[in-house]
Structure 1
Amino acid sequence: MKLISWNVNGLRAAVKHGFVDSFNQLDADFFCVQETKLQAGQIDLDLPGYHQYWNYAERKGYSGTAIFTKHEPLNVTYGIGVPEHDTEGRVITLEYPDYYVLTCYTPNSGGELKRLDYRQTWEDAFLDYVNGLDARKPLIFCGDLNVAHENIDLKNWRSNHHSAGFTDEERTKFTRLLSNGFTDTFRHFYPDQTEIYSWWSYRFHARDNNSGWRIDYFITSNRLDDRLLNARILNDVYGSDHCPVELDIRL
Structure 2
Amino acid sequence: METFKYRELQQLLKSQIIKGVYKEGDLLPSENVLSSEHDMTRATVRQALQKMEDDGYIIKRKGKGSIVNLKKKRLGLLSFKGFSEVISHTDDKVNNQILEGPALQNWPDDFFYTLSEAESEVGCYFLHRLRLINQSPIMLEYTYIPNMNLPKFAEAKLVNDSLFTTLALNFEIEIISMDQEVRAVKADEELAAFLETEIGEPILHTYRKYGTSRKDFFIYSSLFFNTDSYAIGSYFQ
Q: Same fold, TM exceeding 0.5?
A: no
Pairwise TM-score range, normalised by the shorter structure? under 0.3
* TM-score calculated relative to the size of structure 2: 0.23
Point out the structure with max Rg over C-alpha.
2
* TM-score calculated relative to the size of structure 1: 0.22
